[in-house]
Structure 1
């Protein structure tokens, strides 16, 4: 099996509960390839979310309820690890002390007040905005939002970013993505978003730029605060980018 195929399989086996088996031996090279293909995982998950929302709306459910169903399904399909990362990152950013202390808080296994607040806010925004996109029959937008969320993970793992600890998920993927890969996926996301609003293609491009810029700022802040990149930070970036991109597409609608 080719390395490229191994990367795709590892991305799906890592980032979803789908019955996909990746390579048994994982090192930084294979982990980097998996992150490079993470947006393809977003494409699949976005398609599932769009389908669930279409069924929900067709069945007469409210857009908000449909959005909650789609968000819940996405959490199940990703083992809830991105939500766990969001909560842990929020708690780590909310605590006092050096990076070591922040990482201890993130590893505690329980969600503190900052984590709970972040989950409620981000999930609420996701559910409401995805439901409104479905109400407007913007099905392609729902898919694209899921893709750009994983593009943010590619951007976060760009060269020059160090891992917070010498072991763990962050150590496998931090600094693995070349400038070419980052530029490629940013371009793909921009092209996808320009087709969402044909009468305002510039808005789609601005949403991509703004959402990824926020992801870069969030990653930089977390790297400084935690002493490097961790898997939790990637999860937080994916969830927040999902919410920001969905809201950005709804502006002016």
Structure 2
């Protein structure tokens, strides 16, 4: 991601188009032509559209889940295929960030040394452990969602998880935080996003879920799926705020790797929160 964004100057294109296509260019393997000018304006526009790549990944997961249901594949295998597709379609860049942040936090080093560990291209045992635990929770939560009594409900929720996690990760790019260096990718995105955009995306994803659920599911099932997605977003945002504050304190700011770590961790938290809420709703 950061390799596509070396800071340059020049004239920006239309805000909506530039933000949308730059987000897809930076955060997926899609051959989309993003911005040609890279600065904090570009970063703000792209991060405001951060959930859009998540919607793309969610669409892929929905397709996988639908085909797997037709073929009679197990929820566990389907969950693994969904998570694998998300990592492949994002060049595994967020896993790389999670591993770097895991190594830095696990070192208990002072902020300056922790930032050096993040910049190190090698991954240690702590970083690998963070990746394994996070992916395990993702797969387990998605598997249980796909095993819900209503298969379409589980597939719908799983399809919304990537958008929820990227919406949650926008907290790290919000104006509550600052980059820990004056250059690099983090300096272009950290501290650029107004918090109202997080609320806008939460509402948009919730409404989209409610509309889809009303068309595909029965009354009570539609309500529980919609409430589960809404709760998943709230849980992800709350978790992202806590983790971002901790990273900001431990590292003296945030960077692009922190955003990757937030995306991976909130994917697990959003899925798990949605699952718990849906289970509770079903038991009432």
TM-score, scaled to structure 1? 0.92
Alpha-carbon offset, residue 194 of structure 1: 5.8
- Name the larger-Rg structure: 2
Is 1:65 the counterpart of 2:77? The answer is yes
Shift of 1:8: 0.6
Match 1:158 to one of 157, 174, 180: 174
Aligned partner of 1:173 in structure 2 is: 189
> Residue in 1 aligned with 2:246?
221
Give the drift of 1:144: 1.4
Aligned runs of 1:86-125 on 2, under 5 Å? Answer: 86-125=98-137
The CA deviation at 1:61 is 2.5
SS in 2 for 1:155: coil
Q: CA RMSD in A?
A: 1.9
Query: Is 1:144 matched up with 2:156?
Result: no
The CA deviation at 1:128 is: 2.3
Alpha-carbon distance in structure 2 between the residues aligned to 1:227 and 1:189: 33
Q: Deviations over 1:155-174 (max 9, x none)?
A: 21111311011111110001
Alignment of 1:241-252 (within 5 A): 241-251=266-276, 252=279
Q: Which one of the candidate residues 159, 182, 192 is aligned to 2:198? A: 182
Aligned to 1:22: 34
C-alpha distance in structure 2 between counterparts of 1:215 and 1:171, whole Å: 19
Contact 2:229 2:274 in 1 (8 A): yes
Unpaired runs of at least 5, structure 2: 1-12, 214-220
Structure 2 CA distance, aligned partners of 1:160 and 1:171? Answer: 14
**TM-score normalised to the size of structure 2?**
0.83
1:159–1:175: 8 Å Cα contact kept in structure 2? yes
The worse-fitting range, judged by mean Cα deviation, of 129-138 and 154-163 is: 129-138
Partner of 2:95: 83
The equivalent residue for 2:7 is none
**Where does the alignment leave 5 or more consecutive residues of structure 1 unmatched?**
none
